[in-house]
Amino acid sequence: MVASFHEECLERAASLWRAILAHPFLEETAACRIPDAVFANWLKQDYLFVQEGIRFICALAARAPHALRRPLASAIPALEAELDLFAGMAREKQIELEGVRMAPTCHAYVQFLHATAWQASFEEGFTLLYAAEKAYLDSWRRVRDNLAAPSPWQPFIERWAGEEFSRWVAWLEATLDELAAAAGASARERMAEIFLLTARYELRFWEMAYRGEAWPE
């Protein structure tokens, strides 16, 4: 049986995907022994990332075929609600979100989002979106499945391991397979390369949060 496009991508990214799911950030979060300051690193950077992710989805929706525009744009309010979740958790845990600067990996990943949405083909942008969301679904499901005790970060786990987010990723997956099926061979290869790059950025993002990271001054 022929693999669908998303299966082919996941197969080509298998070692990266394993490294993502086995990352100590996720492992320690599941084991409830991640230091608060380390989790806060991620929370601050991902807050900035999601703000830019909304602009990325807006740019994709601006170029989408009409049949995909409405479902894509429906993610915008969901992501604005995600920002509110970050802000609420930050308040609760006394994490300051104001004046935080993007760390290098976060900045680089965000530039990759925007450059792809604006300059590459719509299909490549869509692939990036699927890869990033799929990585989050799988990562947080891993946390949920291995959870040692009630987590102080429960709302994040529920958000990305939950039903609503899972349906969103399923729609992205099915749509990606359709887009890939309609694309020529070289366009499909460029889409697969975007998938691999996104997986690399996802892995580096956990690493940035776990190790800390700073710009030269």
Specify the stretch interacting with its own copies by CB under 8 A; choose among 25-33, 59-67, 135-143, 163-171. 59-67
Q: Which is nearer to its own copies, 35 or 77 (CB)?
A: 77
Binding flag, residue 99, its own copies (CB under 8 A) = no
Residue from 38, 97, 108, 192 binding its own copies (CB under 8 A):
108
Please, which of residues 65-84 interact with its own copies by CB under 8 A?
A: 66, 69-70, 73, 76-77, 80
Specify the stretch interacting with its own copies by CB under 8 A; choose among 27-35, 118-126, 153-161, 169-177. 118-126
Q: Tokens for 96?
A: 């300051």
Q: Which is nearer to its own copies, 36 or 96 (CB)?
A: 96
Q: Tokens for 212?
A: 């800390």
Please, which of residues 9-48 interact with its own copies by CB under 8 A?
A: 15-16, 19
> Phi first, then psi: what are they for 8, rounded to 5°?
-60, -45
Residue from 5, 42, 86, 112 binding its own copies (CB under 8 A):
112
Give the type of residue at 105. Answer: T
Contact 139, 24 (CB under 8 A): no
Residue 202: enclosing H or E segment and its boundaries? Answer: helix 185-211
Single out the residue of 144, 178, 148 nearest to residue 163, CA to CA: 144
Residue from 50, 97, 121, 171 binding its own copies (CB under 8 A):
121
In order of 56, 84, 94, 113, 127, the CA distances from 5 in angstroms are 23, 34, 43, 21, 10
Dump the DSSP string for 123-135. HHHHHHHHHHHHH
Contact 202, 117 (CB under 8 A): no
Residue from 62, 87, 148, 174 binding its own copies (CB under 8 A):
62
For its own copies, the binding residues (CB under 8 A) are 15-16, 19, 51, 54-56, 58-59, 61-64, 66, 69-70, 73, 76-77, 80, 104, 107-108, 110-119, 121-122, 182-187, 197, 200, 203-204, 207, 215-217
